[in-house]
Structure 1
Amino acid sequence: MKVLVLGLPRTGTQSLADGLVQLGISPIYHMREVARNKHQALWIEAIDAKFEDVGVPWTREDFERVLENFEGVADYPAAIFPAELVSAYPEASIILSVRPEDKWCESMESTLVHLQKKRAPGDTTSMSVLSGKYHHHCWGDDFAATGREFFRKNNQLVRHLGKERKFLEWQPQDGWAPLCSFLGVDAPPEGTPFPRSDDWVEYKKMVERENTATENAESA
């Protein structure tokens, strides 16, 4: 394991993951790898062990069942376990991806939180169960009330974990330069744009259309 990206979702984690790949750190374990590798049940097991005292908290041996072929992690569900991953992989550098708190909340509300609210009651598909677990344990199923506090606490924890490790705090507008310096690698050719990856683009457009329709109906 080379790099642990321990910022929360919607802080540029997908773009950062793709940027790391371009810099030769590959593959990176991102949320999109969960369904692709059918890892839902394993992450549910890890969450249950951490938050519900079901089973034993994960160590490196357990994480390796999921991550053994990866050189880095970014985004949920891995970033639910910052302290555990830092302990399990002492050789890995730490990156905390951040963005302004208001922007983060807006982005979360129009993506992960919005989708969770739309899930049908009693949906027992594996991705729905996994999503329900972290929405419950991270912000108590009430993002509006506790999301900001969770954001602050997570960032504070990761900064603390990074005090005795190779550590970088990074935000998307920082681009290549600090990342390449931190990793000790050559920058891409001049003019190479930093990835702007977002699997949620179409979903956010749908949410915007829904909000516009609601506003128009209310003003009619």
Structure 2
Amino acid sequence: MATPEDFTRIGNYAHMHSPNPSINRSLATRTVPLSVLCLGYSRTGTLTMHHALTTLGYPSPYHFSSILANPLDSDQWMAALNAKYNGLGPLPTKKFFDALLGHVGAVTDAPCNLFAAELVAMYPDAKVVLVEREIESWERSWAAFAESAYDPVLPLLARLDPEWLGRIVSVGRATTQVSAGFAGTKAQAKVRSRGAYRRHYAEVREMVPEGRLLEFRLGEGWGPLCAFLGREVPDVPFPHENEKERNKQFFVELGRKGMRNILRNAMVVLMIVGVPVGACYWAYRG
């Protein structure tokens, strides 16, 4: 069982230890305006931006960790990813995003950033924030993340816990592969990631009209961000999330919870199969 210290270390990823509400968002509609699209790559301060957007009062900012609060979101994200990147099924529409992200006032991180073109076009009133990191620094951080994301053990465990771990691993692996230049292996990711990173930033800059885009560095603090978004500067320091530590602990907790689920599933199977078999055996003996 996770301790309070574990919750502190994994921050927003602590959603994985919350009760699963099992909300089918395909039946939902938009309830709040989608006002901010933070479209930078993972490992560029997306957790920090999630914290900042929350502090500024945007409802339910969406980050990859948000999926942990409702793993059923994974099914819709996988359908969208397969449609856009594998040509499988209909492409996501505005109605699709209004359902999946209808409760959300801002987005950051994957999978949302992988649908930058769609979100920019479908929500023309949303302002775009692009946080970029010096590429060598980003590449070192991304390589450390890929060590865990491409761990061959995770897909094996996911098959034994398809309802929870299977969903999380599937969408996590898919977003990582796309972000790494459609890399199916860790070795491919090392070769392709830098090019994918640069293409993404060039495409966002090209697609966003002048005046709608803020190029933002986390070290600049609240000033330029609040001025661009039209929000008052909060009376708290600009947040700083240690994403390396958060992600490291996330993968540890992900494996732990997956193993607990697998053991629980095994016990259920033993109860379902073992009790009738045992009863038949003793009835036969009698």
> Of 83, 96, 116, which aligns to 1:49?
83
SS in 1 for 2:209: helix
SS in 1 for 2:234: coil
* Amino acid corresponding to residue 119 of structure 2 in structure 1: L
Segment drifting more, 22-31 vs 136-145: 136-145
Cα gap change, 1:23 to 1:44, in 2 (>3 Å):
same
1:114 matched to 2:158: no
Q: CA deviation at 1:185?
A: 1.5
Q: CA deviation at 1:109?
A: 1.2
Q: CA deviation at 1:119?
A: 3.5
> Of 245, 260, 280, which aligns to 1:201?
245
1:1-220 mapped onto 2 (5 Å cutoff): 1-38=34-71, 39-111=73-145, 113-120=146-153, 121-122=155-156, 123-124=158-159, 125-138=166-179, 139=181, 140-141=183-184, 142-164=188-210, 166-189=212-235, 192-198=236-242, 200-201=244-245, 204=248
Q: Structure 1 CA distance, aligned partners of 2:233 and 2:61?
A: 19
Q: Structure 1 CA distance, aligned partners of 2:176 and 2:42?
A: 12
SS in 1 for 2:129: strand
Question: Which runs of 5 or more structure 2 residues have no equivalent in the other structure?
Answer: 1-33, 160-165, 252-286
Higher relative CO (Cα under 8 Å, sequence separation at least 6) belongs to: 1
Q: CA RMSD in A?
A: 2.0
Q: CA deviation at 1:206?
A: 11
CA contact (8 A) 2:149 2:172 kept: yes
SS in 1 for 2:214: strand
SS in 1 for 2:130: strand
CA contact (8 A) 1:8 1:79 kept: yes
CA contact (8 A) 1:7 1:96 kept: yes
* Amino acid corresponding to residue 29 of structure 1 in structure 2: Y
Query: Equivalent pairs: percent with the same residue?
Result: 28
* Amino acid corresponding to residue 176 of structure 2 in structure 1: H
Q: Structure 2 CA distance, aligned partners of 1:71 and 1:51?
A: 26
Cα gap change, 1:40 to 1:184, in 2 (>3 Å):
same
Cα gap change, 1:136 to 1:188, in 2 (>3 Å):
closer
Q: Structure 2 CA distance, aligned partners of 1:61 and 1:20?
A: 24
SS in 2 for 1:73: strand
In the other structure, the counterpart of 1:215 is none
Q: TM-score, normalised by structure 2?
A: 0.67
Cα gap change, 1:66 to 1:155, in 2 (>3 Å):
same
Cα gap change, 1:202 to 1:93, in 2 (>3 Å):
closer
Q: Structure 2 CA distance, aligned partners of 1:206 and 1:160?
A: 34
Q: TM-score, normalised by structure 1?
A: 0.86
More helix by proportion, 1 or 2? 2
Question: Which runs of 5 or more structure 1 residues have no equivalent in the other structure?
Answer: 208-220
CA contact (8 A) 1:12 1:171 kept: no
The alignment covers a number of residue pairs equal to 204
SS in 2 for 1:94: strand
